[in-house]
Protein backbone atom coordinates (compact mmCIF):
# COMPACT_ATOMS: atom_id res chain seq x y z
CA UNK A 1 0.00 0.00 0.00
CA UNK A 2 2.80 2.41 0.92
CA UNK A 3 4.39 2.28 -2.52
CA UNK A 4 1.02 3.06 -4.09
CA UNK A 5 0.66 6.05 -1.77
CA UNK A 6 4.11 7.32 -2.76
CA UNK A 7 3.07 7.22 -6.39
CA UNK A 8 0.16 9.50 -5.50
CA UNK A 9 2.40 11.82 -3.46
CA UNK A 10 4.93 12.20 -6.24
CA UNK A 11 2.21 12.63 -8.83
CA UNK A 12 1.14 15.96 -7.32
CA UNK A 13 3.36 18.95 -6.53
CA UNK A 14 1.67 19.82 -3.24
CA UNK A 15 1.65 16.26 -1.91
CA UNK A 16 5.22 15.75 -3.10
CA UNK A 17 6.29 18.84 -1.15
CA UNK A 18 4.37 17.58 1.90
CA UNK A 19 6.11 14.19 1.64
CA UNK A 20 9.58 15.78 1.40
CA UNK A 21 8.89 17.99 4.41
CA UNK A 22 7.65 14.99 6.42
CA UNK A 23 10.83 13.05 5.65
CA UNK A 24 13.02 16.04 6.50
CA UNK A 25 11.15 16.53 9.79
CA UNK A 26 11.96 12.93 10.75
CA UNK A 27 15.64 13.65 10.09
CA UNK A 28 15.47 16.77 12.26
CA UNK A 29 13.87 14.72 15.06
CA UNK A 30 16.79 12.31 14.91
CA UNK A 31 19.32 15.14 15.17
CA UNK A 32 17.42 16.67 18.09
CA UNK A 33 17.38 13.35 19.92
CA UNK A 34 21.15 12.92 19.57
CA UNK A 35 21.71 16.43 20.93
CA UNK A 36 19.28 15.97 23.82
CA UNK A 37 20.96 12.75 24.93
CA UNK A 38 24.35 14.48 24.95
CA UNK A 39 23.05 17.31 27.12
CA UNK A 40 21.46 14.89 29.60
CA UNK A 41 24.70 13.04 30.24
CA UNK A 42 26.81 16.06 31.03
CA UNK A 43 27.28 18.13 27.89
CA UNK A 44 24.74 20.62 29.16
CA UNK A 45 25.52 23.39 26.69
CA UNK A 46 23.05 26.24 26.42
CA UNK A 47 23.77 26.69 22.72
CA UNK A 48 22.78 23.05 22.08
CA UNK A 49 19.57 23.48 24.05
CA UNK A 50 18.66 26.58 22.08
CA UNK A 51 19.35 24.73 18.84
CA UNK A 52 17.00 21.92 19.89
CA UNK A 53 14.17 24.36 20.60
CA UNK A 54 14.86 26.16 17.33
CA UNK A 55 14.62 22.88 15.42
CA UNK A 56 11.41 21.99 17.24
CA UNK A 57 9.86 25.26 16.09
CA UNK A 58 10.86 24.34 12.55
CA UNK A 59 9.08 20.99 12.86
CA UNK A 60 5.98 22.78 14.14
CA UNK A 61 6.10 25.03 11.09
CA UNK A 62 6.50 21.99 8.84
CA UNK A 63 3.45 20.39 10.42
CA UNK A 64 1.32 23.45 9.71
CA UNK A 65 2.66 23.74 6.16
CA UNK A 66 2.11 20.05 5.45
CA UNK A 67 -1.48 20.16 6.63
CA UNK A 68 -2.06 23.32 4.60
CA UNK A 69 -0.67 21.69 1.46
CA UNK A 70 -2.82 18.60 1.99
CA UNK A 71 -6.00 20.64 2.48
CA UNK A 72 -5.21 22.75 -0.57
CA UNK A 73 -4.59 19.63 -2.67
CA UNK A 74 -7.85 18.01 -1.56
CA UNK A 75 -9.78 21.21 -2.23
CA UNK A 76 -8.36 21.65 -5.73
CA UNK A 77 -8.61 17.96 -6.63
CA UNK A 78 -12.06 17.60 -5.06
CA UNK A 79 -10.96 14.91 -2.62
CA UNK A 80 -8.78 12.88 -4.99
CA UNK A 81 -5.85 11.38 -3.08
CA UNK A 82 -7.72 11.61 0.23
CA UNK A 83 -6.09 8.49 1.74
CA UNK A 84 -2.59 9.64 0.76
CA UNK A 85 -3.17 13.02 2.36
CA UNK A 86 -4.62 11.56 5.55
CA UNK A 87 -1.67 9.20 6.01
CA UNK A 88 0.83 12.06 5.69
CA UNK A 89 -1.14 14.22 8.10
CA UNK A 90 -1.12 11.37 10.63
CA UNK A 91 2.60 10.69 10.29
CA UNK A 92 3.59 14.33 10.76
CA UNK A 93 1.62 14.47 14.01
CA UNK A 94 3.75 11.63 15.39
CA UNK A 95 6.89 13.38 14.16
CA UNK A 96 5.82 16.58 15.94
CA UNK A 97 5.04 14.70 19.17
CA UNK A 98 8.52 13.16 19.16
CA UNK A 99 9.92 16.69 19.09
CA UNK A 100 7.83 17.59 22.14
CA UNK A 101 9.19 14.66 24.14
CA UNK A 102 12.74 15.56 23.12
CA UNK A 103 12.09 19.04 24.51
CA UNK A 104 10.94 17.36 27.73
CA UNK A 105 14.35 15.70 27.97
CA UNK A 106 16.00 19.11 27.65
CA UNK A 107 13.69 20.48 30.36
CA UNK A 108 14.65 17.53 32.57
CA UNK A 109 18.32 18.38 32.06
CA UNK A 110 17.73 21.99 33.11
CA UNK A 111 15.75 20.95 36.20
CA UNK A 112 18.42 18.43 37.25
CA UNK A 113 21.81 19.60 35.95
CA UNK A 114 23.87 17.38 38.28
CA UNK A 115 25.32 14.13 36.97
CA UNK A 116 23.22 10.95 37.10
CA UNK A 117 25.41 8.34 38.78
CA UNK A 118 23.50 5.07 39.09
CA UNK A 119 25.64 2.85 36.85
CA UNK A 120 23.10 0.04 36.39
CA UNK A 121 20.35 2.40 35.22
CA UNK A 122 22.78 4.48 33.18
CA UNK A 123 23.86 1.36 31.30
CA UNK A 124 20.24 0.38 30.67
CA UNK A 125 19.38 3.88 29.47
CA UNK A 126 22.40 4.02 27.18
CA UNK A 127 21.31 0.75 25.55
CA UNK A 128 17.78 2.09 25.05
CA UNK A 129 19.16 5.34 23.61
CA UNK A 130 21.25 3.38 21.12
CA UNK A 131 18.23 1.31 20.14
CA UNK A 132 16.12 4.42 19.57
CA UNK A 133 18.86 6.06 17.52
CA UNK A 134 18.93 2.93 15.38
CA UNK A 135 15.13 3.03 15.12
CA UNK A 136 15.27 6.60 13.82
CA UNK A 137 17.59 5.45 11.03
CA UNK A 138 15.57 2.35 10.18
CA UNK A 139 12.24 4.21 10.34
CA UNK A 140 13.46 6.72 7.75
CA UNK A 141 14.62 3.84 5.54
CA UNK A 142 11.26 2.09 5.88
CA UNK A 143 9.39 5.27 5.02
CA UNK A 144 11.68 5.99 2.09
CA UNK A 145 11.61 2.48 0.58
CA UNK A 146 8.22 1.21 1.71
CA UNK A 147 9.81 -2.08 2.80
CA UNK A 148 6.97 -3.78 4.69
CA UNK A 149 9.09 -6.69 5.93
CA UNK A 150 11.69 -4.37 7.45
CA UNK A 151 8.93 -2.16 8.85
CA UNK A 152 7.27 -5.15 10.53
CA UNK A 153 10.59 -6.20 12.07
CA UNK A 154 11.15 -2.67 13.40
CA UNK A 155 7.57 -2.57 14.69
CA UNK A 156 8.24 -5.63 16.85
CA UNK A 157 11.59 -4.24 18.01
CA UNK A 158 9.99 -1.00 19.18
CA UNK A 159 7.17 -2.93 20.83
CA UNK A 160 9.65 -4.92 22.91
CA UNK A 161 11.63 -1.79 23.77
CA UNK A 162 8.44 -0.16 25.03
CA UNK A 163 7.88 -3.10 27.37
CA UNK A 164 11.45 -2.80 28.64
CA UNK A 165 10.99 0.90 29.43
CA UNK A 166 7.74 0.11 31.22
CA UNK A 167 9.42 -2.53 33.36
CA UNK A 168 12.14 -0.11 34.46
CA UNK A 169 9.57 2.57 35.30
CA UNK A 170 7.64 0.07 37.43
CA UNK A 171 10.82 -1.08 39.18
CA UNK A 172 11.88 2.48 40.02
CA UNK A 173 8.47 3.41 41.40
CA UNK A 174 7.73 0.21 43.35
CA UNK A 175 11.15 -0.99 44.55
CA UNK A 176 11.71 1.70 47.17
CA UNK A 177 15.33 2.15 46.12
CA UNK A 178 16.72 5.68 46.31
CA UNK A 179 18.83 5.59 43.13
CA UNK A 180 20.99 8.27 44.76
CA UNK A 181 17.91 10.54 45.11
CA UNK A 182 17.37 10.62 41.35
CA UNK A 183 14.45 8.18 41.11
CA UNK A 184 12.06 10.79 39.70
CA UNK A 185 14.54 11.88 37.05
CA UNK A 186 15.20 8.29 35.96
CA UNK A 187 11.50 7.41 35.86
CA UNK A 188 10.66 10.50 33.80
CA UNK A 189 13.51 9.86 31.38
CA UNK A 190 12.45 6.25 30.85
CA UNK A 191 8.93 7.57 30.24
CA UNK A 192 10.07 10.10 27.64
CA UNK A 193 12.12 7.44 25.87
CA UNK A 194 9.13 5.10 25.91
CA UNK A 195 6.90 7.74 24.30
CA UNK A 196 9.48 8.65 21.63
CA UNK A 197 9.79 4.95 20.86
CA UNK A 198 5.99 4.61 20.68
CA UNK A 199 5.65 7.44 18.18
CA UNK A 200 8.38 5.87 16.04
CA UNK A 201 6.34 2.65 16.15
CA UNK A 202 3.26 4.57 14.99
CA UNK A 203 5.21 5.99 12.06
CA UNK A 204 6.48 2.55 11.07
CA UNK A 205 2.99 1.08 11.37
CA UNK A 206 1.84 3.47 8.63
CA UNK A 207 4.04 1.53 6.19
CA UNK A 208 2.38 -1.82 6.96
CA UNK A 209 -1.16 -0.88 8.03
CA UNK A 210 -4.13 0.71 6.29
CA UNK A 211 -5.01 4.21 7.50
CA UNK A 212 -7.57 3.06 10.09
CA UNK A 213 -4.98 0.82 11.80
CA UNK A 214 -2.03 3.22 11.93
CA UNK A 215 -0.62 3.02 15.46
CA UNK A 216 -2.15 -0.42 16.07
CA UNK A 217 -0.74 -3.93 15.93
CA UNK A 218 -0.64 -5.25 12.38
CA UNK A 219 -3.11 -8.04 11.71
CA UNK A 220 -1.92 -11.63 11.35
CA UNK A 221 1.20 -11.08 13.47
Q: Where are the domains of the chain?
A: 2-213
Sequence-distant (≥ 6) Cβ neighbours of residue 161 within 8 angstroms: 128, 131, 132, 135, 197
Per-residue pLDDT at 1 exceeds 90? no
pTM over 0.85: yes
For residues 159 and 169, what is the distance between their CA atoms, to the nearest angstrom?
Answer: 16
36 vs 99: CA distance, rounded Å: 11
pLDDT at residue 6 above 80?
Answer: no
Q: Which residue has the higher pLDDT, 221 or 193?
A: 193
- Contact by Cβ (8 Å): 93, 52: no
Nearest to 208 by CA among 168, 162, 155: 155
What is the reported pLDDT for 67? 93
CA-nearest of 145, 136, 126 to 29 is 136
Classify domain 2-213 by CATH architecture.
Up-down Bundle (1.20)
Q: What does the pLDDT read at residue 208?
A: 92
Amino acid sequence: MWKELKQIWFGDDLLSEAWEMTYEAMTIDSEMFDDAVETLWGNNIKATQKLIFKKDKLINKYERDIKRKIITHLSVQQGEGLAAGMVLSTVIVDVERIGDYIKNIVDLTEMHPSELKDESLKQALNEIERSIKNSFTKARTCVENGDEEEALDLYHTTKELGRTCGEYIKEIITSGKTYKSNATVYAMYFRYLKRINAHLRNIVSSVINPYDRIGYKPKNT
